[in-house]
């Protein structure tokens, strides 16, 4: 196997799909889809959780006096849109074996999520795109990613960032002297108050003993490179 892992849960934020002015950028979508198709064709079992941040986030609800729960469900619906955009881009590249599983029942355009069905289809080479988040308010797609990774028996959660190669001791975009970590323990995420993912997600990953690999997906074929072990990243485990 040419990749470090056999089964991977890839977390993409909504930011990965957008441009400066549009919620969807064709080059971004195609660039991601091409890598995903290559990985799947080479036998990697791939589950993808996609965020909704290019369209809407629940914390925007307060700006329009919207209750958090309503705002959160709008955010979850945003992830469904992103999943459909990725699905159609993958299929346009000629790879038909892709399912969009939604935690929100939207029978017309998605399959209802069922971990057994997802595992079976992935064993047959299908890419699983998980949308709708956890289906519950007050959660994030980071937590959703860890839950789906547990359910599909993934070897790792690949946490794709936009423009940051991994985890530092402080925000590298603010502190140019921030120290990069190539490895971290889960406990250090909370001890050092590192902004990588929400604590629910890191605590769940620690309990399930699932490593999380944080890498920068903004670069030529970076998703493939990191899985080939050819890209610097931060691995969180133990």
Q: How far is the CB of 57 from ligand UDP (least distance, A)?
A: 3
- Cβ neighbors of 142 (< 8 A, separation 6 or more) are 11, 159, 197, 198, 200, 201
Per-residue three-class SS string for 27-56: HHHHHHHHHHHHHHHCCCEEEEEECCCCCC
Give me the 34-53 binding string for ligand UDP, x by CB under 6 A, dash otherwise. Answer: -----------------xxx
Given ligand UDP, ligand ADP, none, residue 35, with its beta carbon under 5 to 8 Å by kind, binds: none
Residue ranges in 190-209 that form contacts with ligand ADP under rule CB under 6 A = 194-195
Q: How many CB atoms lie within 10 A of CB 56?
A: 20
Q: Which residue is nearest to ligand ADP (CB)?
A: 13
Q: According to the annotation, is 171 in a ligand binding site?
A: yes
By the 8 A CB rule, do 169 and 193 touch?
no
Sign of the torsion angle spanned by Cα atoms 189, 222, 113, 135: positive
3-state secondary structure of 11: strand
Q: According to the annotation, is 139 in a ligand binding site?
A: yes
Q: How far is the CB of 49 from ligand UDP (least distance, A)?
A: 8
**Total interface residues for ligand ADP by CB under 6 A:** 14
Q: Is 133 in the site for ligand UDP (CB under 6 A)?
A: yes
- Cβ neighbors of 206 (< 8 A, separation 6 or more) are 186, 187
Nearest C-alpha neighbor of 33 from the set 83, 84, 93, 82: 93
CA distance 24 to 88: 13
Report the phi/psi class of residue 151: left, alpha or beta, with left for phi > 0 and alpha for psi in -120 to 50: alpha
Quote the tokens at residue 11: 């977390």
Q: Is 179 in the site for ligand ADP (CB under 6 A)?
A: no
**Total interface residues for ligand UDP by CB under 6 A:** 21
Q: Is 31 in the site for ligand UDP (CB under 6 A)?
A: no
Output 137 or 162, the one with its CB closest to ligand ADP.
162
Q: Is 102 in the site for ligand ADP (CB under 6 A)?
A: no
Q: Is 173 in the site for ligand ADP (CB under 6 A)?
A: yes
Q: Which of 89, 99, 140, 222 binds ligand UDP (CB under 6 A)?
A: 140
Where do contacts with ligand ADP occur on this chain (CB under 6 A)? Answer: 13, 15, 161-164, 167-168, 170-173, 194-195
Task: Cite the annotated binding site for ATP by residue number.
Answer: 11-14, 53, 57, 162, 168, 171
């Amino acid at each position: 196997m040419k990749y470090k892992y056999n089964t991977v849960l890839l977390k993409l934020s909504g930011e990965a799909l957008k441009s400066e002015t549009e919620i969807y950028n064709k080059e971004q979508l195609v660039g991601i889809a091409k890598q995903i198709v290559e990985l799947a064709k080479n036998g990697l079992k791939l589950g993808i959780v996609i965020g909704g941040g290019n369209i809407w986030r629940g914390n925007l609800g307060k700006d329009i006096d919207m209750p958090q729960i309503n705002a959160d469900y709008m955010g979850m619906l945003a992830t469904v849109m992103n999943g459909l955009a990725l699905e159609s881009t993958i299929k346009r590249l000629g790879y038909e074996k892709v399912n969009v599983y939604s935690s929100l029942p939207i029978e017309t355009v998605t399959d209802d999520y069922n971990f057994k069905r997802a595992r079976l289809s992935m064993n047959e080479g299908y890419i699983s795109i998980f949308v709708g988040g956890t289906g519950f308010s007050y959660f994030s797609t980071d937590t959703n990613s860890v839950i789906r990774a547990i359910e599909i028996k993934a070897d790792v959660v690949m946490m794709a960032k936009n423009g940051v190669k991994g985890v530092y001791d402080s925000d590298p975009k603010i502190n140019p002297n921030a120290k990069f970590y190539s490895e971290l323990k889960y406990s250090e995420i909370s001890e050092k108050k590192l902004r990588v993912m929400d604590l629910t997600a890191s605590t769940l990953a620690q309990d399930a003993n699932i490593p999380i690999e944080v890498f920068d997906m903004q670069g030529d074929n970076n998703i493939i490179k990191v899985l080939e072990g050819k890209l610097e990243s931060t691995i969180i485990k133990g």
